[in-house]
Structure 1
Amino acid sequence: MTSLAARGAPPLSVRAAAPLVLAVLLVLTAIAYPLTSGGARDAVSWTIVVLGAALSVVHAAAGHGLRTAAAVTALVGGTAVAFEAVGLATGVPYGSYTYSEALGPTLLGVPLLVPLAWLMMAWPSWVVAGLLASRTVPRVLVATALFAGWDVVLDPQMVQAGYWTWAHPTPGLPGIATVPLTNLAGWLLAGGVLMTLLDRLVTRTVVADAPRVGPAAPLLALGWMTLGGALAHAGWLGLPGSAAWGAALFLPVFALLAARRWRTR
């Protein structure tokens, strides 16, 4: 099969650097979130999601080929719109909620920002899961847990910003009074479906001789948006419950990754 380089793709060093540049820009923009308010915070939120989605697409393309990146984008976007449209119309599987007009244009009632946010979250979750589990079923389960856990940190922040509202926010996780447990159940269900499809898709569409790009950029995105988000929740946003959950859910993940890397040195 013709290699990416032979087809005029940029050198590997450039392809590897591009996701990292996007990850650094994502972190810098995320740092600005708790320091802004009003329209400036809305602009920061949009920028974070666009950068995160771009990081996912660029990393998938760099390490797995353009065909895989395009297929991942279509799969995640389509799955997001399907689950969110059903959720808005029926309350299943997340519970009853409504989106704010601040999120901009919609498709089937779903703000276009939402599938981009799914893309921002889904690809790093799948990549990091692959570092923790090599077999298909464990990898899908870990990716699903990471995907849903990310939302545990993110959702209270978005509710606080007024981007969506829950009709019945209780009962919720201890310390989080604004987001119902049904939302977590919905994310586990949607994440399980998405990660199963995503795993099969990447396996079937990957370019056999595509150079492998390291996981540093998705790791940085996942780490900062969860643990950095938890820090922002505790120190600036007045969300100690989600801060505690973020630390409890993700510190063990990164400790395990560090331990595995140490053992392989």
Structure 2
Amino acid sequence: MTRAIPWALLGALILTQICYPLTGGGARAALTVLTVVLGYLLSVSHALLTRGVRTAVTLIATTTLCGFAVEALGVATGFPFGTYDYSGRLGPKLLGVPLVIPLAWTWMAWPAWLAALRLARSRVARIAVAGAGLAAWDLFLDPQMVAEGYWTWRSPTPALPGVPGIPIGNYLGWLGFALLLMAVFAAAAGPRAAVAADRDAPILALWIWTYASCVLAHAVFLGLPASALWGGVLMGAVVLPLLVRLSRR
């Protein structure tokens, strides 16, 4: 029975994301929040069911709590992502940060880590791969959310070609923090979190689905072809080798 929980949450998440481009306004914002909540529940429940309480608690402590802390720091000081502000469209805020935002760090940090377990052997290499993969996901996330008006930068230049509104420094901040996040998680989670499990399939499917659906949505449905290209190339550098590895097995 417990094996079905991650698959059920993944199915609900995919259905929610399919509905996203078919809506607008408040309904789209509600689907955004629902997607993040489902992704959070999926990652945390999978970590608990496959790696135990220590891994799940460490995942929450390092990605949810630290994710909130860095977002609050960013809103207050402009470090490390640049000076930005959240609108009120993603629900209640604490210290200027919508409460749903830290959940997104956890949602995607866990699949990034499990993908790295398949692609690298040493802890340092896994931290690098997981951090790079998580940061590359932001090449999809920020352009989409800025286009919806969920947050804005006060000084959005210099930006990547074709992706206005987001400073390049934001992506560098993401990379630095993602690497730090993965290093802290790897050190604190214990040996069970560093072993690939047979029951990781739903999370690896989440990782691959996120990549493929983002490329498609940005290129076709959301009118963001440049971010489809940037994210497709850079996140693809982590996702596509995983697909090759899984196909060989």
TM-score norm. by structure 2 comes to 0.93
Query: Which of 235, 238, 241 is the matching residue for 2:220?
Result: 235
Q: Which residue of 2 aligns with 1:50?
A: 37
Once residues 207 and 46 of structure 1 are traced to their aligned partners in structure 2, the CA distance between those partners, rounded to angstroms, is 28
Kept in 1: contact 2:85–2:96 (CA 8 A): no
CA offset at residue 211 of structure 1? Answer: 10
Root-mean-square deviation (CA, aligned residues, Å) is 2.0
Pick closer, same or farther for the CA change 1:259–1:85 going to 2, 3 Å.
same
Q: Which residue of 2 aligns with 1:78?
A: 65
Pick closer, same or farther for the CA change 1:52–1:257 going to 2, 3 Å.
same
Q: Secondary structure at the match of 1:15?
A: coil
Q: Secondary structure at the match of 2:152?
A: strand
Matches within 5 A, 1:130-149: 130-149=117-136
Once residues 202 and 131 of structure 1 are traced to their aligned partners in structure 2, the CA distance between those partners, rounded to angstroms, is 17
Pick closer, same or farther for the CA change 1:211–1:167 going to 2, 3 Å.
closer
Between the two proteins, the alignment pairs up a number of residues equal to: 249
Q: Which residue of 2 aligns with 1:5?
A: none
Runs of 4+ off more than 4 Å: none
Q: Which residue of 2 aligns with 1:122?
A: 109
Matching residue's letter, 1:125: A
Q: Which has the higher contact order (CA 8 A, sep 6+)?
A: 1
CA offset at residue 213 of structure 1? Answer: 4.6
CA offset at residue 222 of structure 1? Answer: 1.9
Q: Which residue of 1 aligns with 2:148?
A: 161
Task: Give per-residue Cα distances to partners, 1:188-210, cap 9 Å, x unaligned.
Answer: 11101110011112226x499x9
CA offset at residue 174 of structure 1? Answer: 2.0
Task: Give per-residue Cα distances to partners, 1:7-59, cap 9 Å, x unaligned.
Answer: xxxxxxx3332112211211111111111101110111011000000011011
CA offset at residue 70 of structure 1? Answer: 2.2
CA offset at residue 247 of structure 1? Answer: 1.6
Kept in 2: contact 1:63–1:213 (CA 8 A): no
Pick closer, same or farther for the CA change 1:207–1:256 going to 2, 3 Å.
closer
TM-score norm. by structure 1 comes to 0.88
